[in-house]
Chains A and B, each alone.
Chain A
Amino acid sequence: MNIVEKILARGAGKSSVAPDDVVFAKVDKVMMHDVSGPGVIKVFDKLKKQGISVDKLWDSSKVWVAEDHFVPSAEKVSAENIVKLSKFTKQYGIEKHFKYGMGQYGICHTISHEEAMVMPGDIYVGGDSHTNTTGALGAFACGLGHTDIAYVLLNGQIWFKVPETYYFKLNGKLPDHVMAKDLILKIVGDIGTDGGAYQTMQFGGSGVDEMSVESRLTLCNMTTEAGAKNGIVEPDQKVVDYLTQRGATNFNLIKGDEDAEYAKVFEYESSEMEPTVAKPFSPENTCVVREASSVELDKSYIGSCTGAKYEDLEAAARILKGRKVKIRTEILPAAISIYQRAMENGLLKIFLDAGVTVGPPTCGACCGAHMGVLAKDEVCISTTNRNFPGRMGHVESQTYLASPLVAAASAVTGKITDPRDL
């Protein structure tokens, strides 16, 4: 069995499972945020009306809650949702509620790794499509709708069809000017936005071994853009060290068998990769950065679960150090812990000296919520994960998806720029 089959077999209490088996599996962790949470509350209200008891969750210690999409509260409706969420977590005794303005908080997927909320081998579900991100820790991590999250909160289990696995073998260390973001954009461009539909996308090979945990998180994050059920990397010592630094103990490192089977194997020479962008209006609409270098920009946005981890900010700082931005540029660290390290290590000074606006952790303009959304005809380069029409603001604005290095280099020139051409 491969790693996903082993994790699902464990959760289902079976000795083995195979692709297309439907299993009822115990869930280890469940997450909801300020958009899916109020949706779940609505489902609970409906159940109450049907006379079903929703007085108790299956295990409130396994549930955690993030505030990220519309925080700090964008206007009165989102403020009310935050109040609703706080009442809910208090009522059900959910202690792990990361509230803005009260220490650590941030984008749910970022909190999942920054706070070691999810462990290797876990079955982890979240009320958000980018829950796939956390598969980089060696967990089976996938997104669910509100009703399914409500179901898990009450029952602690849910059914899965065991996915087939596409294995992406990445050969060689990425060059200095290339990031995991470039690689995953290239892959989504190659296989298309439904190229991984209901598949596991597993990443391995020397390119992944060489990669930091945060780079692996970027890879798994955008498996969602290929329609994958989940993304995953087999856990190694780097994952153990990363989570240990964040307070985790007791690891159960599940890995695939030597003779594990994969539905398809794709090979990439990661050492020969080029900086890549996805042009409007689809993440699959990719080309190398140098082919798009004539595009004039209005904005650069460095934020989101995809592109505002510490490593992403560090990459941006490498470019911005001693330089000035030519277009509006925003950097929103994805969690308070990242914000703090950026301050301690001098990154914030580099950003502010360059003219950047540094914002609070939030999904913000990535989903067009607030904090720098785009006007009609504005063109933005962004470290986020989606560029559908209207995703970041006006339906006639344009977003190019890119790595933090490219977004920072482009901020300096005002045009889409390969970091080597600065």
Chain B
Amino acid sequence: MAAHTQFSGGFQNAPVDAAHAFRAAMTVMARPGEIRSVSGCQPPAPLSVAAGVLLMTLCDPDTKVHLAGATNADAVRQWLTFHTGAPLTDATEADFAVGTWQALGPLNQYRVGTPEYPDRSATLIVECDDLQQTGPKLTGPGIKGTAHLSLPDVRALQTNASLYPLGCDFFFTCGDTLAALPRSTQIKDRG
């Protein structure tokens, strides 16, 4: 790549790259605690590769995206609009939200769905400095026995899980690695 211009860094082979990324996203969401690496696009800073790949794969003109904190930069907005056409919105209406844990909070401003339509909730893409299979203990659907995942804030995520079947779902991204925490997972601080 000669120069990184405002629109470059998208999927080179969109159908195949997006299918691989979608499979990775589904796998980590189905098996909380599992970490997968994804590739295929080079988003502008400060988005991580994994967050960029997720946005490219999951967003389209029908999904409202909230860019929290430092991710709400001109370069990111232009890149996202060019590649996905997703409308940008504030936290209360977002289908997807991207940012660091500090920038995204507080959690109670995001949509959690309604009892009739629990799917009308937000999915948060949390940019982490570190992503490890250590830390709080996870149990629940998709986990054989127990799993561990480094989570940013156990208390807030426990509160979110207690809303089940409502609540938000989370992707955690760090560099090109990806993990997820659906609302159905029970979290225990190992303490």
A binds B: no
| Chain B contacts to A: CB under 8 angstroms | none
